[in-house]
Amino acid sequence: MIRLGILVASDKGYKGERTDESGKLIMELFSRSEYEIVEYIILPDEREIISSNLCRQADHLDIDLILTSGGTGFSPRDVTPEATLDVIQRQAPGISEAIRQKSLEITPLAMLSRGVSGIRNQTLIINLPGSPKAVRECIEVIAPVLPHAIDILKGQTGECARK
């Protein structure tokens, strides 16, 4: 069972000026037997607030995988990658590279996504974009490797075939 946290960064979503679609889509896409959705929150685009909530989800809610949505772009308020870099201890650049590489096949705008991925203790944190369409595409890329990644991270599998 993978304990999943969903953290949406959106000023408008937080203030109720826009309905969050991306976070709900993540919930829907992970409503499978091997995942348990532990928390789904919408936060303003504030670096400190995002980073402290990432820590809370990782350290106190015992969450294995945090998927963020939003705040990865070029707007002055987009700070989700910075908040994530503040709390991860080990970077996992290959995940964000793979996401962007696949997304580039769909649109050149994918190169503007600044998302990062990394590990805090035994929690994997992955930044996803803010649009539902992009979220769906990104999850298709990462979903096949997530269970294996979490197993290794939790020390439940001694060996990895390739890493």
Please give the residue ranges that form the binding site for a second copy (CB under 8 A).
Answer: 72-76, 78-79, 81-82, 89-98, 100-101, 103-104, 107-114, 116, 119, 122, 124, 129-131, 133-134, 141-142, 144-145, 148-149, 152-153, 155, 160-163
Start-end of H helices in the chain: 11-14, 22-29, 47-55, 80-87, 93-104, 132-142, 146-153
Minimum distance, C-beta of residue 47 to a second copy, in the bound complex (Å): 10
Q: Which is nearer to a second copy, 59 or 94 (CB)?
A: 94
Q: Which is nearer to a second copy, 31 or 121 (CB)?
A: 121
Residue 6: alpha-carbon gap to chain centroid: 7
Q: Which is nearer to a second copy, 50 or 124 (CB)?
A: 124
Q: d(Cα 4, Cα 55) in Å, to the nearest integer?
A: 14
- Residues in the chain, how many? 163
